[in-house]
Chain A
């Protein structure tokens, strides 16, 4: 069972060995956080990174009202095409964005196109058209659309108070911003179509970062074993985690006979999810495991591995359940078949929902400082917001581990069910 969860709840009662493992846990958390924070500082102070003042607008872009805050949070939850750390208004009232662009790779009707996301000039409302080799691209709500040939501006189908198409020209941009903001995200452009977006988005970038961290950390652990039997330093933190996944997740759920084949996958998934979750708690604003596409991909891996490693007994239990009357077998078959799909589906939704909800709640609590400023005063609102979000972030630290544990544990369980040898029938 989740020893760490137990440790966190029992807290002050701990003694001896349990104390040791708690220290280890806290140490590893601290390390992960320290790692993430130090890299954050590095980027923020890097002078090469573009703080392009290209998208200069009036200061009313700042986030202060409730609507703006919810939009800001909704925007954060989504994937992004550039790495945005923060924005501020400079002395002349211009809006400055601190961050750096990421590469955009899109598969359009004319083939692959590659450019940096800075080409969009921080525009996310579909106004800025990027022309690359005969293809016109716009970005709207972090989705990239290709304009149909001959079109020069994006237009949206609108229900209700507008008739037909509504052209958004560059000229009447300002007057239309308000109207565009009324659209919800499900509004689709009428004269453009989505392209296959293979960009190195913020989440892909985060994935690469997590992979790099994992490779460096565990490669160094692997190298340590060449010199000594018991690793020192950071390796001593990682080793019990590896043993934990192997001995507490893989071995008991899959079984002594088969677990070795799947340990690699389970270890990778566990550490990827955990590191991603922890990275999501840093001010870098990653939301890797809160992307439905990412959790879908992870769940798909589990699904495919489960199905392809399923033995005869497993399939027999799905299509022709032994030990029940024949009519029941017929009824059970589709249910069992559906069950194989709902299991990974629940994996996907659980991880996505937990992480997204965590991000939304933490950001909402942080925004208390802005919303309650008028009624509680700046100090009171900030203190309340700090206390609440601090408390919730601690819980999120636990959730980060717990979700990684649950995903891995259930994956192991599903795989275990597929490879198990039934001899009790």
Chain B
């Protein structure tokens, strides 16, 4: 202990303390402050970069999910449109068929009516022709048989009536 105390140099202690103060001051001013502040700045930068990367990632996820949604909607829309188109087509075809049928039925009915008319007319015509023919025939008969003209005419009318009833 005495040896230790004897070896203790007050001068060295004073010098050491003064120099240490100076060195702490110099190191803090010229080294530690700029170093620590740069390190902190860098750490802050890294932290911010990480955060913004995280944000960007979240945003990307958002965007991709929105894309997905859009795609899905578009697909649904397409499906709907296709379905509608298909329905419209079927309906149009059905309508057309119906119309065609109606038309054809109408035409057929008309045709039938006109045929009936034609037939009637033709029958009238034939009746008239037949009457004419009968008259002509009677005339010829009359010309030949002038004497019995009235009897013959009576007889012809009786015959004609029979003919008309038979047709």
Say yes or no for B113: interface residue by CB 8 A criterion.
Answer: no
Flag the segment in A53-61, A115-123, A164-172, A211-219 that touches B: A211-219
User: Which residues 33-49 of B sit at the A interface, judged by CB distance below 8 A?
Assistant: 33-36, 38-39, 42, 45
Nearest residue, chain B, Cβ from A272: B23
A301 to B31, CA, bound (A): 20
Q: Interface residue count for A (Cβ, 8 Å)?
A: 47
User: Which residue from chain B places its CB closest to the CB of A294 in the assembled complex?
Assistant: B16
B122 within 8 A of partner (CB): no
Contact residues in A for B4 (Cβ distance below 8 Å): 292
Which of A201, A211, A221, A291 is in CB contact (< 8 Å) with B23?
A211
B42: chain A residues at CB < 8 Å are 225, 229-230
On whether the beta carbons of A207 and B16 are closer than 8 Å, the reply is: yes
Q: Is the beta-carbon distance between A214 and B27 smaller than 8 angstroms?
A: yes
Which segment, of B6-14, B92-100, B145-153, faces chain A? B6-14
Contacts of A149 in B (CB 8 A): none
How far in angstroms is the closest Cβ of chain A from B107? 94
Give chain A nearest CB distance to B152 CB in angstroms: 144
> Quick one: which of A142-189 are within 8 Å of B by CB?
143, 184-186
* A268 contacts B27, C-beta separation under 8 Å: yes
- CA distance in complex: A292, B42 (Å): 41
The answer to whether A345 has its CB under 8 Å from any CB of chain B is no
Evaluate contact between A78 and B32: CB separation under 8 angstroms: no
A215 near B9 with CB under 8 A, answer: no
Q: A229-B42, A272-B23 are in contact. Are A293 and B9 (CB under 8 A)?
A: yes
Question: Which of A197, A200, A242, A264 is the one whose CB lies under 8 Å from B9?
Answer: A197
Would A215 and B26 be within 8 Å (CB), given that A293-B9, A294-B12, A294-B16 are in contact?
Answer: yes
Contact B36 A263 (CB under 8 A): yes
Total A-B contacts with CB atoms under 8 angstroms apart: 128
Partner of A264, one of B3, B6, B19, B28: B28
- Hey, which chain A residues are within 8 Å of B2, CB to CB? 186
CB distance from A6 to the nearest CB of B (A): 24
A217-255, CB < 8 A from B: 218-219, 221-222, 225, 229-230, 239, 242-243, 246
- Answer whether residue B20 sits at the interface, using C-beta atoms and an 8 A cutoff: yes
Bound Cα distance from A207 to B14, whole angstroms: 13
Minimum C-beta distance from A267 to chain B (A): 5
**A78 vs B14: C-alpha distance in the bound complex, in angstroms?**
17
B-side contacts of A197, CB under 8 Å = 9-12
A204 to B13, CA, bound (A): 10
**Shortest Cβ gap from B131 to chain A (Å):** 129
Q: Given contacts A218-B27, A222-B38, A297-B20, is CB(A264)–CB(B33) below 8 Å?
A: yes
Q: Determine whether B17 belongs to the interface, using a CB cutoff of 8 Å to chain A.
A: yes
Q: Is the CB of B15 within 8 A of A204?
A: yes
B108 CB, nearest partner CB in chain A, Å:
96
Given A218-B27, A225-B38, A296-B8, A301:B33 Cβ within 8 A: no
* Residues of chain B within 8 A of A268, CB atoms compared: 20, 23-24, 27-28, 32
Contact yes or no, A229 B31, CB < 8 A: no
Distance in Å from the Cβ of A137 to the closest Cβ of chain B?
A: 13
> In the complex, what's the smallest C-beta–C-beta distance from A252 to chain B, in angstroms?
17
For window 42-80 of A, CB contacts with B under 8 Å fall at 78-79
Residue-wise interface mask of A (294-322) relative to B, using a CB-CB cutoff of 8 A (1 in contact, 0 not): 10111011000000000000000000000
Is A185 in contact with B7, judged by CB distance below 8 angstroms?
A: yes
**How near does chain B come to A424, taking the closest CB pair, in angstroms?**
30
CB distance from A371 to the nearest CB of B (A): 24
Is A218 within 8 A of B31, CB to CB?
yes
Q: Which of A263, A291, A293 has the most CB of B within 10 A?
A: A293
Closest to B38 in A: A225
Q: How far is the CB of B45 from chain A (nearest CB, A)?
A: 7
User: Is A411 in contact with chain B by the CB < 8 A criterion?
Assistant: no
Query: Is the beta-carbon distance between B30 and A215 smaller than 8 angstroms?
Result: yes
Chain B CB within 8 A of A388 CB: no
- Return the 10 tightest CB-CB contacts between A and B, nearest first: A197-B11, A225-B38, A218-B31, A264-B28, A222-B34, A293-B13, A293-B12, A297-B16, A264-B32, A297-B17
Since A207-B20, A222-B38, A296-B13 are in contact, a sample of 11 more A-B pairs with Cβ atoms closer than 8 Å, ordered by chain A residue number, is A196-B11, A197-B12, A214-B31, A215-B31, A229-B45, A264-B24, A265-B24, A267-B27, A268-B23, A291-B16, A300-B17
A–B Cβ pairs within 8 angstroms, 29 of them = A197-B10, A200-B15, A201-B9, A204-B16, A207-B15, A207-B19, A211-B23, A215-B23, A215-B31, A219-B30, A222-B30, A225-B38, A225-B42, A260-B36, A267-B32, A268-B20, A268-B28, A268-B32, A292-B7, A293-B8, A293-B10, A293-B13, A293-B16, A294-B12, A294-B16, A297-B13, A298-B16, A298-B20, A301-B20
